[in-house]
Amino acid sequence: MVTAEQKSFYDENGYLMIEDAVTADQLAGLREITYRLIDASRAVTESDGTYDLDAGHSAEKPRLTRIKLPHRQHPYFWEVLKNSLMTDVLTGLLGPDTNLITSKLNTKAPGGGRAVEWHQDWAFYPATNDSLLAFGLMLEDVTEDNGPLMVIPGTHKGPVLSHQANGYFAGAIDPDDPLFEPAKAVTLTGKAGSMTVHHARVLHGSAPNLSDRNRLILFYECAAADAWPILGASSYIHALGQCAFWADLQERMITGTPCLEPRLENVPVRMPLPPAPDTGSIFKTQESAGAKSAFA
């Protein structure tokens, strides 16, 4: 359960660290499946619907930036989200009715695995209110040298910074933006089984992985059921017709039931348009739009 102190800290700072978010058996199962998926990527030669490949990927030495939609690659990723401490944290912060926006397993290969430039998730998928968050479950120990998540506390209460570059939505802020204050960043490291929580509007990013170990973090991006998506964002759901959307929504409910009365809040919104030349992942978006790196 989320304590009153944790809830207060999250509300004020926009992030949390939760230890032992899954059981030892759940962690072992998630890791075993993850390494099986990484091993299967040896046969893949270009990014596809399952894998986002990093530079230097080969059958002999698989290098990935991401396994896409892990909850669709293996049902255990979905089962653990619905039946663990993660579930209690989710309802403690967002209420009884929640759904999944998307999932991803950022593998960040050793020896220079790609950085994720500073951004706000909210810039990618604005909604009728900002009761949205992301969990980052560490499948291996995350240390200072292998590209941990960094957040800037309190930025979830501020504006949505521009994520534009060269006329495109680049999925990254300009590191020269005067409202970007990297000196205030907090680095989130922890043991395997620990979980980060960050509000959708919090500024966050992660440096390249300079260690000799994969940095395996399983991300679930979630919303309160009354936070309805705004048309124009990049999610596949906007391409669905009414019947397909309703069926898809049932499948994405984590807890409770869908809400048919969206909660409308006065929240800042910038639409993520025009789309970058390649929107296959955040890495492709940032790269193809020519986003300026804060880690160069």
Owning domain of residue 32: 4-288
Half-sphere exposure (CA, 13 Å, Cβ side) for 54?
A: 22
User: pTM to 2 decimals?
Assistant: 0.96
- How much is the pLDDT for 202? 98
Count up the domains in the chain and report the number: 1
Calculate mean pLDDT across residues 118-144: 97
Supply the pLDDT for residue 280: 86
- Per DSSP, the residues of 193-206 read T-EEEEETTS-EEE
How would residue 235 be classed by pLDDT, with cut points 50, 70 and 90?
A: confident
Confidence of residue 166 (pLDDT cuts 50, 70, 90): very high
Q: Is residue 296 part of a domain?
A: no
178: β partners: none
Structure token pair of residue 198: 């960050």
* Cα–Cα dist 223/133, whole Å: 6
CA torsion sign, 284 to 287 to 290 to 293? positive
Q: Look up tokens 């500024």; give the residue.
A: 203
Quickly state the pLDDT bin for 114 (edges 50, 70, 90). confident
For 164, the token pair is 């534009």
Band the pLDDT of 91: cuts 50, 70, 90: very high
Strand residue runs (E) in the chain? 15-18, 51-53, 64-68, 98-106, 116-119, 132-138, 149-151, 164-165, 168-169, 186-188, 195-199, 204-206, 217-224, 253-255
Q: For the residues 173-179, what does the mean pLDDT come to?
A: 97
Average of per-residue pLDDT across 76-85: 98
Q: CA distances (Å), 121 to each of 44, 109, 162, 163, 204, in order? A: 29, 22, 12, 11, 9
Residue 237 is predicted with a pLDDT of 92
Tokens, residue 92 = 């403690």
Q: Is residue 190 part of a domain?
A: yes
32 in a structural domain: yes
Predicted local distance difference test score (pLDDT) of residue 36: 97
Q: Is the model's pLDDT at 25 over the cut of 80?
A: yes
Report the share of the chain in percent with pLDDT over 70: 100
* Confidence at 86, pLDDT banded by 50, 70, 90: very high
Q: Which of helix, strand or coil describes residue 155?
A: helix
Whole-angstrom Cα distance, residue 247 to residue 249? 5
Inside any domain, residue 295: no
| Cα separation, 240 vs 219, whole angstroms | 24
Q: Mean pLDDT throughout 199-228? A: 95
Please say if the pLDDT value at position 234 is more than 90: no
pLDDT tens digits, 259-270: 999 999 999 999
CATH number at residue 98: 2.60.120.620
Asked if the model's pLDDT at residue 111 lies above 90, the reply is no
Per-residue confidence (pLDDT) for residue 296, from 0 to 100:
82
Cis peptide preceding 274, ω within 30 of 0: yes
- Closest by CA to 165, choosing from 72, 296, 286, 279, is 286
**Whole-number Å distance between alpha carbons of 189 and 272:** 30
Per-residue burial over 70-101, b = 16 or more CB atoms within 10 Å of its CB, e = otherwise: bbebbeebbebbeebbbbebbbebbeebbbbb
Share of the chain above pLDDT 90, in %: 91
**pLDDT (tens digit per residue) in 47-65:** 999 999 998 999 999 999 9
102 vs 73: CA distance, rounded Å: 13
Cα-to-chain-centroid distance, residue 30:
17
β-bridge mates for residue 195, sequence order: 18, 137
Q: Per the domain annotation, does 57 fall within a domain?
A: yes
Q: How confident is the model at residue 95 (pLDDT cuts 50, 70, 90)?
A: very high
DSSP secondary structure letters along 81-120: HHSSHHHHHHHHHH-S-EEEEEEEEE---TTTBPPEEEE-
Whether 87 contacts 81, CB under 8 Å: yes
